Amino acid sequence: MISMLRSTVVAAVLLGTALSARAGALVEPSLHLKSSAAGETRVALTLDACGGRTDNRILAALVEHRIPATIFVTGLWLKRNPEALAVMRAHPDLFEIENHGDRHIPAVDAPMRIYGIRSAGSPAAVASEINDGAAAIIAAGLAQPRWFRGATAKYSRTAIAEIKALGFHVAGYSINADGGALLSAGSTERRVAAAKDGDVLIAHINQPTRSAGAGLVKGLLKLKARGVTFVRLDDADRDGSYEMDD
């Protein structure tokens, strides 16, 4: 009995060590646009639609001011926001819809919590989150997504390899514009307005009650007034004008 107990304890310790090693290997990939041959200042706006509802302050401003954006949607968000999706579908020149997973589960193949969110926890669960998210997008009548951004934008390196094997680019970023929609309007505005050529912004379009959305709009309009050209990720993908560090 004692021998069996010792074996069980040793096995648990070894498993815990292995999971801790994977947990310590989380990465948050960066993404930049390459400099344009035409010498223009280009910025990519990417917006996560994790769940909940839609910040129509942002959506309306993007349509009114003709600012293209790449929207990362979950299956949860698609079910809850048909009106916003209809607006995006009505402007295919502005909005590119990409994969944020099915249920907003971090693409990490070891059990843990990231910002309080439980990870997928296994390679099979990572694949399910990615594939089911893509299936939800296709079921909504949209094009097959080519980019994936997991919940929290943090990944285990093994999960990144799995994402790529499934045929997706990993959507990193260079500026966290709204701090998960938790920053003030002023802080968000300043971060966005400070964007330089090649930056990829990440912000959120699913938090209509938070002040960060108002700041995002103001920052984007400042960039537009500076003559910045906004680029969607599919445009950058087609001409190979992006650089990734993962």
Over 50: is that where the pLDDT of 1 sits?
no
User: Could you report the per-residue pLDDT of 175-221, keeping only the tens digit for each?
Assistant: 999 999 999 999 999 999 999 999 999 999 999 999 999 999 999 99
Domain boundary assignment for the chain: 30-245
What's the pLDDT score for residue 119? 98
> Where does the pLDDT of residue 241 fall: very low under 50, low under 70, confident under 90, or very high at 90 and above?
low
DSSP per-residue codes, the chain: -HHHHHHHHHHHHHHHHHHHHHHTT-B--EEEEPPPTT---EEEEEEEE-SS---HHHHHHHHHTT--EEEEE-HHHHHH-HHHHHHHHT-TTTEEEEE--SS-----SS--EETTEEP--SHHHHHHHHHHHHHHHHHTTPPPP-EE--GGG-B-HHHHHHHHHTT-EE---SEESSTTTTS-HHHHHHHHHT--TT-EEEEESS-TTSTHHHHHHHHHHHHHHTTPEE--HHHHHHTT-EEEE-
pLDDT of residue 10: 33
Task: Determine the pLDDT at residue 237.
Answer: 75
Q: What pLDDT, on a 0 to 100 scale, did the predictor assign at position 239?
A: 58
pLDDT band for position 92 (50/70/90)?
A: very high
Q: What is the residue-averaged pLDDT of the chain?
A: 90
What's the confidence (pLDDT) of residue 17? 37
Res. 36 pLDDT band, cuts 50 70 90: confident
Mean pLDDT along residues 92-98: 98
Superfamily of domain 30-245: Glycoside hydrolase/deacetylase (3.20.20.370)
Render pLDDT for 54-68 as a digit per residue (tens, 0 to 9): 999 999 999 999 999
**pLDDT tens-digit readout, 100-110:** 999 999 999 99
Q: Tell me: pLDDT of 117 over 60.
A: yes
pLDDT at 118: 97
